[in-house]
Homo-oligomer: A and B are copies of this chain.
Amino acid sequence: MATPALVIDEAVVRRNIGRMAAYAAEHGLALRPHAKTHKSLRMARLQLSAGAVGLAAAKVGEAETLAEACDDLLIAYPAVDEPRCRRIAELAREKTIRVAVDSAFAADALATAAREAGSTVGVLVEVDVGFRRTGVQSPQAALALARHLDRTRGVRLDGIMCFPGHVTGPADEQDLSPVAEMLAETLELWSAGGLAAGIVSGGSTPTAYQSHRIPALTEIRPGTYIYNDMNTVAGGHCGVEDCAVRVACTVVSDAVPGKVVIDAGSKALGSDPARTADGGFGRVVEYPEARLVRLSEEHGEVGVTGCERRPALGERVHVIPNHICPCVNLYDQAWLRREDGQWEPMPVDARGRLS
């Protein structure tokens, strides 16, 4: 195997999938994994076989790729431009497609495209529950947009979406009551206005196992949980042993005192910083005392002064990146270590589907 290479442990993947599926089933929540993490048809099929009701995607290109494995897709991302809306409307001729919107502008663009394609696109009103990125700002604004959607031909009002991305940290420190209250208030307004929200979709990986504390939710959309990463570990949401993906690297230089260089930099790991005090760019599995202190594009500099035994030139080591989603997106192909111990190449089918 040439390095750097993305290696995936199927046994860990299945355990992660199973755990989340069991939680969702226990609490009567539909599970709609966000496929942006794996971008893989094979992984999507594993999630669907374990009971996922469908998939979420950020970009239309991802949804187009995933449609090969899935009949029920949520594009958890506003689509406002004509080319994107046209592709969504086209996809909706064959599949159940929903889109989250936070403006009448987006809703109208989608509706126009759907009417032209002769299809109907389901819509969820995105409500900002605190992440301050997208989403309407109040229950009243959600009602106003819902009313607009309800009287617009081409779209079908299916419910509400939120993303509690601002809630991180350990489960017992997560304050989810403002999220719960905002959703409850929105539902009450809709109900008084004669509007139903069949779907209330929420749930990031850090909050996923606390979703039962938000009574309004009918569905959750965690993504990272399938693979996990050092940021998930740092947040207290899993252990290192639950990280299913590693980047296999070779030690290519030990010329500079106190460090070794591995052949994985920002083009192989991604350069998202860590959420921990350590601030490194990932964990070197075989050398937990080592610190991945600096990334160039193709060099990873590993401080080894804290290591009793040091990595040798030519040695293979494995890195768990801070953020697995952009890392996976750098690879056309991963290597899957199947449960039977065999290695198999696995395409990252939707890699680079940017629009």
Partner of A136, one of B58, B252, B255, B332: B255
In the complex, A345 has a CB within 8 A of chain B: no
- Pick from A24-32, A45-53, A99-107, A175-183 the stretch touching chain B: A99-107
Q: Knowing A5-B355, A268-B354, A271-B270 touch, does A79 contact B252 (C-beta < 8 A)? A: yes
- Pick from A191-199, A208-216, A256-264 the stretch touching chain B: A256-264
Partner of A271, one of B4, B135, B326: B326
Docked complex Cα distance between A329 and B266 (Å) = 10
Whose C-beta in chain B lies nearest to the C-beta of A316? B81
Query: Are A297 and B81 closer than 8 Å at their CB atoms?
Result: no
- Pick from A90-98, A114-122, A126-134 the stretch touching chain B: A126-134
B-contact bits for A324-349, CB 8 A (1 contact / 0 none): 01100111100000000000000000
Query: Are A254 and B330 closer than 8 Å at their CB atoms?
Result: no
Contacts of A254 in B (CB 8 A): 103
In the complex, A65 has a CB within 8 A of chain B: no
Docked complex Cα distance between A329 and B268 (Å) = 10
In the complex, A78 has a CB within 8 A of chain B: yes
Partner of A134, one of B4, B77, B256, B331: B256
Whose C-beta in chain B lies nearest to the C-beta of A141? B255
In the complex, A72 has a CB within 8 A of chain B: no
Query: Are B296 and A133 closer than 8 Å at their CB atoms?
Result: yes
Query: Are A298 and B36 closer than 8 Å at their CB atoms?
Result: yes
Docked complex Cα distance between A84 and B2 (Å) = 7
In the complex, A232 has a CB within 8 A of chain B: no
In the complex, A22 has a CB within 8 A of chain B: no
In the complex, A189 has a CB within 8 A of chain B: no
Contacts of A78 in B (CB 8 A): 252-253, 261
In the complex, A318 has a CB within 8 A of chain B: no
Q: Which 10 A-B pairs have the closest CB atoms?
A: A2-B355, A102-B255, A58-B298, A134-B253, A78-B252, A105-B313, A80-B314, A81-B250, A78-B253, A80-B252
* 29 pairs from A and B in contact (CB 8 Å cutoff): A2-B84, A3-B355, A4-B355, A5-B354, A36-B298, A58-B297, A59-B298, A79-B252, A81-B250, A102-B253, A102-B255, A103-B255, A106-B313, A126-B255, A128-B256, A132-B259, A133-B253, A133-B261, A135-B255, A137-B255, A137-B257, A267-B329, A271-B271, A271-B326, A297-B326, A297-B329, A329-B330, A330-B352, A332-B352
